[in-house]
Structure 1
Amino acid sequence: MFNDIGGLELVALVILAVLIFGPDKLPKVIQDAARFIRKIREFSENAKQDIRSELGPEFKDFEFEDLNPKAFIRKQLDQNEELKELKELRSSFDFKKEVNEVADAVNGTEPDAPVSAAAPGSSSSTGPDLLKKRVTLEKDERPPFDADAT
């Protein structure tokens, strides 16, 4: 409930409580607050037991935490066998390898050939490599037209 309260914040709350209620009344206020919290917990446990008894035996495994959508979905995903098979299929699929094969096909290089084997200005056997920029342009040569850039 109060998992995100740090030590400095807790000290500030204690000092604030002493200033508001005073050192004489503070122990009684703490006892009253503890008694109130205990009664609320008891009331909620009784309400849970009443709901479970009213639902009947088919809901004996019902947990109120399942009413939280995140917990319900997590529980359903863990129990579903088809999703486990999908996880195995996803782990067997090598997306980087597929992307590299597509990039090699676009570049016109062999999939097994290393990328750094060709010189930067040289062309491959299928034609010039338009994806690599040349360092310098020849005299009176225009840069290549890029339809996506315009």
Structure 2
Amino acid sequence: MAVLAVLALVIFGDKLPQVAGQAGRMLRQFRQMANSAKADLQAGLGPEFKDFDINDLNPKTFVRKHLLEDDDTPVNHKSGIFDDEPSYATASANQLDPGERPPFDNEAT
């Protein structure tokens, strides 16, 4: 940091305060433009997305929020199913008999 400060003094000399002021104003304008664009996007999406946060589009935030955070739904770790599912929902209920064809959904293809 000290090297950068000395380099800035050498390059800009007595104009350093003016350059720093311009950089601060430019940064403030960029921040205002970003906030305005975010507000316009939220207004354009409508009331359904009032809790939408632009940071949720960041892949790291998305993974952390949707995959790594704990859910409030209790899980039965022995069977691997949610405790609020019906008792007939077991892993063996979805297994096919030998030679049996899997179900086919015309609308899914």
Query: TM-score, structure 1 length as denominator?
Result: 0.47
Instruction: Name the counterpart of 2:5.
Output: 14
Determine which of 47, 53, 60 is the counterpart of 1:70. 60
Distance between the aligned counterparts of 2:31 and 2:22, measured in 1?
A: 14
Within 5 Å, give how 1:15-54 maps onto structure 2.
15-22=6-13, 24-54=14-44
Larger radius of gyration: 1
User: Unaligned 5+ residue runs, structure 2?
Assistant: 79-109
Q: Which runs of 4+ in 1 moved over 2 A?
A: 79-82
User: Unaligned 5+ residue runs, structure 1?
Assistant: 1-9, 90-150
Q: How far is 1:11 from its partner?
A: 1.2
Deviation string 1:1-35 (CA, Å, 9 cap, x unpaired) is: xxxxxxxxx1111111101111x100000000000
Q: Which amino acid aligns with 1:13?
A: L
How many equivalent pairs are there?
77
Query: TM-score, structure 2 length as denominator?
Result: 0.63
The alignment yields a C-alpha RMSD, in angstroms, of 2.1
> Higher relative CO (CA 8 A, sep ≥ 6), structure 1 or 2?
2
Instruction: Name the counterpart of 2:49.
Output: 59
Q: Percent identity?
A: 45
Distance between the aligned counterparts of 1:20 and 1:43, measured in 2?
A: 30
